[in-house]
Amino acid sequence: MTGETVAFDIEKGIAWVRFNRPDKRNCMNPALNRRMMEVLDELEFRDDVGVLVLSGEGSAWSAGMDLKEYFRETEAKGLGAIRKAQSEAYGWWRRLRWYGKPTIAMVNGWCFGGGYGPLFACDLAFAADEAQFALSEINWGILPGGGATKVVADLLSMRDAMYHALTGELIDGRKAAAWKLVNESLPLADLKVRVTEVATILLKKNPIALKATKDAIRRVAEMTYDNAEDYLVRAQEAANSHDNEGRKEGIRQFIDEKSYKPGLAAYDKAR
């Protein structure tokens, strides 16, 4: 299904969502940000979607924010327009961070500046070796905003984050993987195959457990150990209450049937 700025297809439980401004290197303008929120709303509770993959049409993932539309034209309309544009962009990135289903960034090409917001928002990230990453803001006279500074501070070492932000230099997918900006880097020709493989693994897991787990990883990262213990006890209780039958079935297949081993595979959700 295609819109002006966002395209998506659903195949075998995977929603392939794509930035769809290839002539603009998929930079994000206000129209794209509004449309992306609508697409996320539409896909989150569909029974035929278990995993969402975010990629880009053409040669780029996203070149960041549209300097003409998002900055110059919005700023000309005053502070109210600026705040509205920021809210729309940050709003769908925040929505993606806490999305109801696992999300994977498939970085097929350029990923600059504002593109780090949705990159970080996805639970997992895979890049083409040929992809190019940069915090380009320093090159046109601003600091990396829109959460980009927070992204590199969280994911990179302090020295790598400083170098990346202060120089504005390009790094490729291999360097992004070495710095842990993404999970893995591999040749572009193999990228979708690998992402499909990982998405298929996730589709076999209990969806309630997936949501609880991804939320837990993000939440406890900023907690003390004691607070994390307390949160996780209650999160487990909530997940058990919400999906008690699924948990019971997994335990039944392991203990009674001995049909799988939790350390090696997932239980059969179809039973």
- State the pLDDT confidence band at 201, using cuts at 50, 70 and 90: very high
**The pLDDT of residue 245:** 67
| This model's pTM is above 0.85 | yes
When the pLDDT of each residue in the chain is averaged and rounded to a whole number, the result is 89
Name the residue among 128, 110, 107, 102 with its Cα closest to residue 209.
102
**The pLDDT of residue 56:** 98
Rounded distance between C-alpha atoms, residue 27 and residue 66, angstroms:
5
Angle at 86 between CA 81 and CA 88, to 5 degrees: 95
Which has the minimum average pLDDT: 13-17, 113-117, 136-140, 196-200?
A: 136-140
Each residue's pLDDT tens digit, 11-27? 999 999 999 999 999 99
Which has the minimum average pLDDT: 224-228, 235-239, 265-269?
A: 265-269
Each residue's pLDDT tens digit, 146-169? 789 999 999 999 999 999 999 999
**The pLDDT of residue 243:** 59
| Residues 203 and 195: beta-carbon distance below 8 Å | no
Each residue's pLDDT tens digit, 65-122? 887 776 666 777 888 867 776 767 788 999 999 999 999 999 999 999 999 999 999 9
